[in-house]
Amino acid sequence: MMIEFSQVSKRYPGGFEALSQVDFKLEKGELAFLSGHSGAGKSTLLKLIAKLETSSSGQMIVNGVHLNQLKKHDIATYRSGLGITFQSPNLLSDRSVFDNVALPLQIRGTTPLMIVKRVHAALDMVGLLNKEKMLPLHLSAGEQQRVGIARAVVHKPALLLADEPTGNLDPHLSSEIMKIFEQFNQVGVSILIATHDLALIARMKHRIVMLRGGRVC
């Protein structure tokens, strides 16, 4: 099992309960969608998995790691084993596309030769090999999103988390991005994608987990 949530709740300091008693599983090598309206708890669930937030109660196991027992100084190592991409791709504007994609490899101390090889492979998969020297600001929104995805997969993570990856893209670009995710899934990466674009995911034959008011339904 890649992700195993049992009776997980998340209550924010103000008293708002974003998730209540969620049971959720993701098999190894599975691609699943997390859907629901805004405020249904999609982002909170992804944040819990990425250890960007801590749960109020319940048990969470991700790739064999008990998240509640994870020590503060082990969080970075845990996160470096994930691939994370968000609606805003969070690229570093003063570094080239190549350097942005190379970041996860650099933090793992990969040798420069291997970095070049892996970054080129990742950029090739998202179709941006010819733009490696450009700065993110010179790319279109769709291209920036693809750079973000390349950065999320360049270090071959076992689990890829995507929060609204097609949020500000047109339908054509959106389905292209989804195809890229499917390609990664075919090589064995477990993927969890949070999106409210039901029309798009309905066409794809993958499990859809619906969240409503912080509960799985």
Partner 1 sequence: MLKFLRALGACHLQAATNSFNFLCRRPLATMTTVIVIAIALTLPALFWVFTDNLGQLTIDWQRGSHISLYLKSPMSPGQEDIFLKEIRAIDGVGHATIKTKEEGLNELQQQEGMHDIMRYLPENPLPAVVDVVPSLAVNTPLKIKQLYERLKILPQIEQAKLDMEWLTRLHALLSFVTKIAHALLALLASAVVFIVGNTLRLAIHNRHEEIQVLKLIGATDTFIIRPFLYSGMWYGMVGAIFAVLFVNIFMLSVSVAFQELASVYHMHYPLLGLTVKQAYLIVLVAISLGWLGAKLSVKRQLASIEPYN
211/36 Cα distance (integer angstroms): 5
Comparison of 69 and 93: residue with beta carbon closer to partner 1: 93
Comparison of 118 and 151: residue with beta carbon closer to partner 1: 151
Comparison of 143 and 163: residue with beta carbon closer to partner 1: 163
122/151 Cα distance (integer angstroms): 8
Min separation Cβ 65 and partner 1, Å: 13
Min separation Cβ 172 and partner 1, Å: 25
Comparison of 92 and 202: residue with beta carbon closer to partner 1: 92
Distances (CA, A) of 86 to 117, 139, 149, 205: 25, 17, 9, 23
**Of 198, 165, 164, nearest to 180 (Cα)?**
165
Residue with token string 């992804």: 46
What does the binding site for partner 1 look like in residue numbers (CB under 8 A)?
43, 46-47, 50, 52, 76-82, 84, 86, 90-92, 103-104, 106-107, 109-112, 151, 163
Min separation Cβ 203 and partner 1, Å: 26
Q: Where are the alpha helices (DSSP H) in 108-153?
A: 112-125, 141-153
Min separation Cβ 158 and partner 1, Å: 13
